[in-house]
Amino acid sequence: MNNPIDKFKTWWQEALAESPLQQKSAVCVSTIDEQGFPTGRFVDLKSVGENGFVFCTCFDSAKGRQIERNAKTAITAWWDHSGYQVRIVGTSELITAGEADQFWAARNKSAQLTTTAFEQSEPTASEAELAARLEDASAKFAEQDIPRPDNWGGYCVKPISIEFLTFRESRLHLRELFVYKENGWVKQLLQP
């Protein structure tokens, strides 16, 4: 397959279909902090298309602020049951408010409440404070739909390179690197 986006979709579908995981779409997103250190954390991969790889989060979170300063982003996935690793490098761009609304509507109320109740990545004094904040939000929105907060939305990581590794017990892993050049994707095999 010469288009890495199509290849990713095929692998992702396969990984999802056979996944023993509870959080089947978790991928590691790495951003660059103020000191230039890479920082990684798992998020849910929401969708994949020709534009790139979409995840949702709070813009005021540590990762959101890091992306504001430096849009260079990596996504890494490992699906143990399939033996697939994927490494994506690219730049994050905001998805539209309309797209964010759709992802927000697809979340369950509990996830919406948590997002609304908290300021992601900010310090907290105690777990009791967290419980109180959640209770307040639950009471406020008991009878009404929860609107998408202005600071919640999505980023689309537009890829410049995607590497697919097929794990082999022999350690003779197959590594297929796709790099985006002027005329499209160029594929190169790498030594394991």
Ligand X SMILES: Cc1cc2nc3c(=O)[nH]c(=O)nc-3n(C[C@H](O)[C@H](O)[C@H](O)COP(=O)(O)O)c2cc1C
Residue ranges at the known binding site for FMN = 41-46, 63, 85, 120-121, 175
Q: Which of 62, 191, 35, 51 is nearest to 119 (CA)?
A: 62
Alpha-carbon distances, residue 167 vs 42, 78, 81, 177 (angstroms): 21, 10, 10, 14
Residues numbered 32-51 forming contacts with ligand X, rule: CB under 6 A: 41-44
Closer to ligand X at the Cβ: 7 or 63?
63
What's the min distance (Å) between Cβ of 157 and ligand X? 13
CB of 19 to ligand X, least distance (A): 12
Q: Is 130 in the site for ligand X (CB under 6 A)?
A: no
- Residue closer to ligand X by CB (options 8, 55) is 55
Binding-site residues, in ranges, read: 41-46, 63, 85, 120-121, 175
Residues in region 54-83 near ligand X by CB under 6 A: 55-57, 61-63
> What radius of gyration, in Å, describes the C-alpha atoms of the chain?
19
Q: Of the candidates 1, 26, 130, 134, which one interacts with ligand X according to CB under 6 A? A: 26
- The β-bridge partners of 94 are 155
Q: Which is nearer to ligand X, 6 or 129 (CB)?
A: 129
Phi, psi for residue 176 in degrees, rounded to 5: -115, 110
CA distance 9 to 83: 16
Structure tokens at 57: 């989060």
d(CA 76, CA 42): 9
Residue whose CB is less far from ligand X, 7 or 27: 27
- The contact set with ligand X (CB under 6 A) reads 23, 26, 41-44, 55-57, 61-63, 120-121
